[in-house]
Amino acid sequence: MNKQTIRIGSGAAWWGDRVEPARLNAEQGQLDYLCFETMAEATVSAAQVRSRRDPDFPGYDTYLEDRMRAVLPGCMKHGTRIISNQGWINPEAAAKRIAELLKELGFPGVKVAAVGGSLITDRVLALTDRILENGEPTRSLAPTLISAEVYLGAEPIVAALKEGAQIVVTGRVADPSIFMAPMMYEFGWDPLDHVRLGAGNGLGHLLECGAQVTGGYFSDPGFKDVPDPWNLAFPIAEVDANGNAVITKVAGTGGAVTLQTVKEQMLYEVHDPANYLTPDVVVDFTQVKLEQVGVDRVRVSGLTGKPRTPTLKVSIGCTEGFIGEDMFFYAGPGAMRRARLAKKILEERFKIVGLQAEEVRIDFLGLNAIHGEATPEDAPEPYEVAVRVAARCKTRHEAAKVGREVDGMAVSGIGHTGKRVPHPERTREIIGVWSSLVPREDIPVNLSYFVS
């Protein structure tokens, strides 16, 4: 402890993220900590649905093995600790599996911690009052409730590190907190030191989306170009005891760390930049100072914070029906004319078959499927267009009508219709996500340990 600076690297920004950059950070990042963020809003609910259907599903990140096999050798060699939210709905099973992998790879005696306590599905209706989005009582969600989980902060991770854990696996923890926990632990920050925690969680926010700060989700040819965008690295922060840092990446990789990439990530998914709420602190980004201090090195200072709120956010996943969708194609002179007639045919067909839908959307992919109503009226007509149709319905049976009517366009549609071979899975279940608040003191956490 009491190091001058610590090096914290990213290993994942979401469930589907690439694995090689994590391995690279483990092997060449000279890291003190490697942190993984693998959950989206609906991840836990989707995992709950799957675990009901599939008793063999262990309940943690489906890429746990891939990720850990890639990084454990490097991390063990360099003494890098790992913090990861790959535990999803079963952090204990994830920690146990990692301990087994460590043993198998020849690393006995490593302590792996599981942080539990974020899942409160069985008592969410008793602990919460109103839905934040619409003001309705949370108990109105009772008939459709799948899962409820609290966003925990960094404190339980710090507790596990204090107990000597080299790897900490959690369920739902706020994304920036995963990356700040090492700073709190190494520099001995007080959980109520909102200035340092504000800086730390601000840095956590810069790291939590991985390559989005190193040149990913960034290139715009001719305006914003980065070298070798096929070979991006995940970021590394060199953090000091006051929460100032240099954001960088492993040398020799593609992408870039510039003022522009850091600025874009700073405001990503942020609403009021002076009041970014996390479980640990309220972050204030507005006084930040950014300096390019070298190639792919941006110094970040001036991040600060305000005292944390008395409540924690709860994410509540509910079943909300099904979406049916499919698409078919036109090309050549008059493509849009045919696409418009095809749309009219589908609209009439949905009336004939009595489609019961909450919303139906028929777009022209190539013209207006992405920007929808924001598409300029004078947008030029494309040479090729896909007619893409989607409907939201109460039942899978209704949602399946979308694909069935697109099937009909094959021989009963219009000239020059291109189609995909019908595939059976053209419906998907909707898991709606709502939010509420719960008092901190109502959420005990539990730590358990496994040794390889």
Partner 1 sequence: MIKVPLQHIAHTRSGDKGNISNIAVFAYEPEFYELLKTQLTAEKFKQHYRHAIKGEVERYEIDAIHAMNFVAHGALGGGVSRSLSLDNYGKALSSAILGFIIEVPDELRPKLR
Binding site for partner 1 (CB under 8 A): 41-42, 133, 217-218, 220, 223-224, 259-260, 263-274, 285-290, 302, 320, 323, 325, 359-361, 363, 365, 369-374, 376, 388, 390-392, 430-433, 435
- What distances in angstroms separate CA 200 from CA 8, 68, 156, 221, 236, one per listed residue? 11, 26, 16, 33, 14
Least CB distance from residue 394 to partner 1, whole Å?
13
Task: For partner 1, give the closer residue by CB, 195 or 290.
Answer: 290
SS3 168: strand
Residue closest to 357 by CA, chosen among 398, 306, 314, 308: 398
337: CB partners within 8 A, 6+ apart? none
Q: Cβ 78 to partner 1, closest distance in Å?
A: 33
One-letter amino acid identity for 139?
R
- Smallest gap from residue 175 Cβ to partner 1 (A): 12
Q: Between residues 274 and 353, which has the closer beta carbon with respect to partner 1?
A: 274
What amino acid is encoded at 441 in this protein? E
- By beta-carbon proximity to partner 1, the closer residue of 155 and 264 is 264
- Nearest distance, CB of residue 246 and partner 1, angstroms: 17
Between residues 129 and 225, which has the closer beta carbon with respect to partner 1? 225
Cα gap 102→98, rounded to integer Å? 6
Judging by DSSP bridges, how do beta strands 245-248 and 236-240 pair with one another? Answer: antiparallel
The upper half-sphere exposure of residue 225, i.e. CA atoms within 13 Å in the direction of its Cβ, equals 5
Nearer to partner 1 among residue 121 and residue 319 (C-beta) = 319
- The residue (of 40 and 353) whose beta carbon lies closer to partner 1 is 40
Q: How far is the CB of 120 from partner 1 (least distance, A)?
A: 20
Shortest distance, position 159 Cβ to partner 1, whole Å: 29
Give me the least distance between CB of 72 and partner 1, in Å please. Answer: 32
Q: How far is the CB of 386 from partner 1 (least distance, A)?
A: 10
Burial of 361 (0-12, 13-18, 19+ CB in 10 A): middle
Are 235 and 257 spatial neighbours (Cβ–Cβ below 8 Å)? Answer: yes
**How far is 139 from 131, CA to CA, in rounded Å?**
9
Rg over CA atoms, the chain: 24
Query: Is 345 or 365 the residue whose CB approaches partner 1 more closely?
Result: 365
185/276 with CB nearer partner 1: 276
Q: How many helices (H) and strands (E) does the chain have?
A: 11, 19
| Closer by beta carbon to partner 1, 341 or else 365 | 365
| Residue 122 vs residues 16, 57, 116, 353: alpha-carbon distances, Å | 29, 21, 15, 41
Give the distance from CA 301 to its chain's centroid. Answer: 26
How big is the CA angle at 272 (ends 269 and 278), to the nearest 5 degrees?
Answer: 65
Q: At its nearest, how many Å lie between partner 1 and the CB of residue 151?
A: 13
Q: In terms of CB distance, is 111 or 388 closer to partner 1?
A: 388
Tokens of 159: 């507790």
Q: How far is the CB of 198 from partner 1 (least distance, A)?
A: 15
